Amino acid sequence: MSQNKLKILVLDDEPIVCKRLQPALEKLGFTVDTFTRSFEALQAVESSTYDIIITDLKMEGMDGMRFLTEAKKISPEVEVIVITGFATMETAKESFKKGVFDFIAKPFNLGEIQQVVQRAAAKIRESRK
């Protein structure tokens, strides 16, 4: 059963987001790696295969969009979930219509993110049947 586990990468420059998401997603049966720096996350995407990427859009000193573009280039199959502040939600939705599975606004509760991730996982499993 373990080999069927989907792998998730979480990138957010706020350590609290990573710390809280990891156990919440592990409990749903995913393998979770977390990063607070985009270049380290990008290295991980290059060296390992992820099924789902969860990333913040606005991070200090880096561009979430660029990370996404790069990650998608390396791994076009990956489903991306974007975390964003309320203020940037609309712009985010507009510019990411393609290639992003869904958006989630900060602050969010565990139930919300778990739901979105489950939907992404269902889509992945469906496509691999």
Residue 4 interacts with another protein (CB under 8 A): yes or no: no
Both structure tokens of 31: 């393998």
- Which of 6, 9, 11, 17 binds another protein (CB under 8 A)? It is 17
Q: Is 56 helix (H, G, I), strand (E, B) or coil?
A: strand
With CB under 8 A as the rule, give the number of residues binding another protein.
25
CB of 33 to another protein, least distance (A): 14
Single out the residue of 2, 37, 40, 8 nearest to residue 113, CA to CA: 8
- Measured in residues, the chain has a length of 129
Residue 26 interacts with another protein (CB under 8 A): yes or no: yes
CB of 45 to another protein, least distance (A): 23
Single out the residue of 35, 32, 70 nearest to residue 51, CA to CA: 32
| 81-120 residues near another protein, rule: CB under 8 A | 85, 106-111, 113-114
Kindly indicate which of the ranges 16-24, 72-80, 90-98, 119-127 contains the residues binding another protein, using the contact rule CB under 8 A: 16-24
Residue 9 interacts with another protein (CB under 8 A): yes or no: no
Single out the residue of 64, 60, 56, 63 nearest to residue 108, CA to CA: 56
Cα–Cα distance, 118 to 42 (Å, whole number): 24
CB of 126 to another protein, least distance (A): 20
Single out the residue of 110, 106, 44, 37 nearest to residue 78, CA to CA: 44
Residues in touch with another protein (CB under 8 A): 1-2, 14, 16-17, 19-24, 26-30, 85, 106-111, 113-114
